[in-house]
Amino acid sequence: MLRILITNDDGIEALGIKRLAEALLTLEDAEIYIVAPQEEKSGVGHGVTFRSALEPQKHDFYGLPVKAWAINGNPADCIKAAYHLLFEDDQKPDLVFSGINVGTNLGRDIYYSGTCSGAREAVILGVPGIALSYDNWFDQDNYGEVVQMIQPLVKDFTEKASKGELPQQVFWNINIPHVPLDEVKGIVPASLSLNHYVDKYNQEGAGYFLMREYPEVMPLAEPLDYDLLKNGYIAITPVHIDATDRSLLKQMDEWSFVKSSGKREG
């Protein structure tokens, strides 16, 4: 039986994680576990807790047939603690889903997102991870038909995980448009759109709040996650956790400050 672990960054009481659990409960031969933050942890990135103790607390998760815990930490803490504390050595999770996030995680959001960090931490621990986000920031109580939208995705990912067909060192970042099911144009692979917004600070009193300004949606000249999502597609990006630029490693052999006993081969 496949062991599936769910987390999020909106907190264990968030509607999105409930919708994700409902989608996964439609699967056969799967045990569902939930380990999520006690409170909202949006934008915490991949922060982990060192200076205070984590205290997992069992949680009655909407009466659904799952095993659930709330943790006084971040999404990465939840996955790390679940892996080391809540699962036996011979019964580690087979797959991790993180979400469903309120609002998107596109482009460079993956570096700030607690949702993405949950999936990334899973991959660091050797478990496939999938992050899911829904474009409903301005309509947060409405998850529409998102359960039906993601059912084919979760079914395919769980089947591939059970066969060992998901690659190592990659987590999957999935963004879902806030449209009716019959208006979804497709599910497509996408590159990260790294420049689809600009940061702006708005002053309120003596303080400043970080905001964003978005350009108009561009035609689909490139398969970028932001443009695809805004044109009605579910965008899926494979994100490799090894950020080494190997082409530059070779170039650096020629840099004046590089000292070594010999050149690298290959």
Assess contact for 195 and 107: CB atoms under 8 A: yes
**pLDDT per residue over 127-154, tens digit each?**
999 999 999 999 999 999 999 999 999 9
Please choose, from the candidates 112, 115, 104, 106, the residue with its C-alpha nearest in 3D space to the C-alpha of residue 146. Answer: 104
Question: What integer pLDDT is reported at residue 221 of this predicted model?
Answer: 64
Question: What integer pLDDT is reported at residue 90 of this predicted model?
Answer: 84
**pLDDT per residue over 229-247, tens digit each?**
999 999 999 999 999 999 8
The pLDDT of residue 84 is above 70: yes
Question: What integer pLDDT is reported at residue 194 of this predicted model?
Answer: 87
Question: What integer pLDDT is reported at residue 216 of this predicted model?
Answer: 72
Q: What is the pTM of this model?
A: 0.92
**pLDDT per residue over 195-211, tens digit each?**
888 888 999 999 999 88
What's the CA gap between 123 and 128, in Å, rounded? 5
Please choose, from the candidates 133, 123, 116, the residue with its C-alpha nearest in 3D space to the C-alpha of residue 242. Answer: 123
Burial (0-12, 13-18, 19+ Cβ within 10 Å), 18: buried
